[in-house]
Amino acid sequence: MSSEFRPLTMLTEDELAFQGAIREFAEAEIRPLVSQMDHDAKMNPDLIKKLFEMGLIGIESPDKFGGAGSTFTMACIAVEEIARVDGSVSVLVDVQNTLVTNAMIKWATDKQKDKYLPLLAQKWVGAYALSESSSGSDAFALKLRAEDKGDHYVLNGHKLWITNGHEASLFLCFANLDPAKGYKGITGFIVEKDFAGFTVGKKEDKLGIRASSTCELIFENCKVPKENVLGEVGKGYKIAIETLNEGRIGIGAQMLGIAQGAYNETLKYIKSREQFGKSISEFQGVQFQLAEMRTQLEAIRLLVYNAARLKDAGQDFVKEAAIAKLYASRAAEKVCSIGVDLFGGNGFTKEYPIEKYFRDAKIGQIYEGTSNMQLQTIAKMELAE
């Protein structure tokens, strides 16, 4: 059995079957679209419909809401397998499952769940709107303001760098109701795309994951019903922190998939490329670099799935999530860079897929908490023990 299809010993039989089904789907339905979607910087709408049909958009959502009622680990498997083919599609699936749906399952009221979870599982893409131009790593410096108008709230301000912004019908937005209270004034809101005063603005032209939309959100006296507060008033900071802790494992899974895809392409290439009368895979220098790539892959895999298992078991996973994301994003960039090197001049052209893996890997060290923020989290938790 080739290294590409070697079963992961840490996965159960059901998980392996799920992994195989997602792999087949990704190869048949996603791979033929990757190059064009990257060129156009646009997700294929028919593909999004197929993601819903495959049940990949509501993996953890309970059966009664039309979801798969499965585990966080299953969501990570889906993200990894899709990222192996395309990082852009994988982040759509990742944000939907590990951020939006997770937050709704944990913090939404029963009425909100009844209304929104079936939509999120079957036809609505969701987005998680925390970042702003002045609040990236300093997430709680956000300036989006919410004002209590009695029977509703009014939101004014902007969000920036919001993944799925173009495709989303539902946005989990964080705004400050009482700036005098600092982060304790932050509150989560469920905003529908057609709410009056809400507009999706400019879509960013990005280096990598180009088919994944990253957009500005504009709130101009946006009216939000009182019943659309997510969780408690003033508890938005808690929702944001806890949700991002889970989401970081998903990004680790995305980086694992990107690195695995880059490795697979590199392995095929070095076996077929000949120099000096033989395959370049026969040169020891090339073999050493391949071994480095493989070692990095195995380390990422163990860290990511260890964190996912801890989350599913209800155990503390915050430090492990930070470690997984930190290492996975760094290692994925390294693996993809080695791949470009081994492709030589071909690796610097768009004729071969390795350059896209390299571009897609870079975002892992930036979104859902930069590498420096992961280092800070890890150090603080170590010092607190």
* Active-site residue, 333 included: no
Residues in the chain: 385
Tell me the two tokens of residue 381.
């938790």
SS3 state at 86: coil
SS3 state at 229: strand
Report how far residue 162's alpha carbon sits from residue 141's, in angstroms, rounded to the nearest whole number: 16
> Is the distance from CB of 15 to CB of 77 less than 8 angstroms?
yes
Query: Helix 45-53 crosses helix 87-94 at what angle (to 10 degrees)?
Result: 50
Residue 70: partners with Cβ closer than 8 Å, 6 or more residues away = 59, 60
Sign of CA dihedral 331, 381, 129, 372: negative
Tell me the two tokens of residue 260.
């695995």
Residue keyed to tokens 């304790």: 184
Tell me the two tokens of residue 182.
């600092």
> Is the distance from CB of 251 to CB of 325 less than 8 angstroms?
yes
| Structure letter (DSSP) for residue 168 | -
Report how far residue 115's alpha carbon sits from residue 138's, in angstroms, rounded to the nearest whole number: 32
Sign of CA dihedral 1, 339, 248, 176: negative
**Which residue in 24, 246, 368, 382 is the catalytic one?**
368
Cross-strand partners of 187: 175
- Containing 230, the helix (H) or strand (E) segment is strand 229-230
Q: CA torsion 274→278→282→285, rounded to 10°?
A: -60
Report how far residue 319's alpha carbon sits from residue 307's, in angstroms, rounded to the nearest whole number: 9
> Is the distance from CB of 228 to CB of 190 less than 8 angstroms?
yes
Nearest Cα neighbor of 75 from 95, 104, 50 is 95
- What residues are annotated to the active site? 368
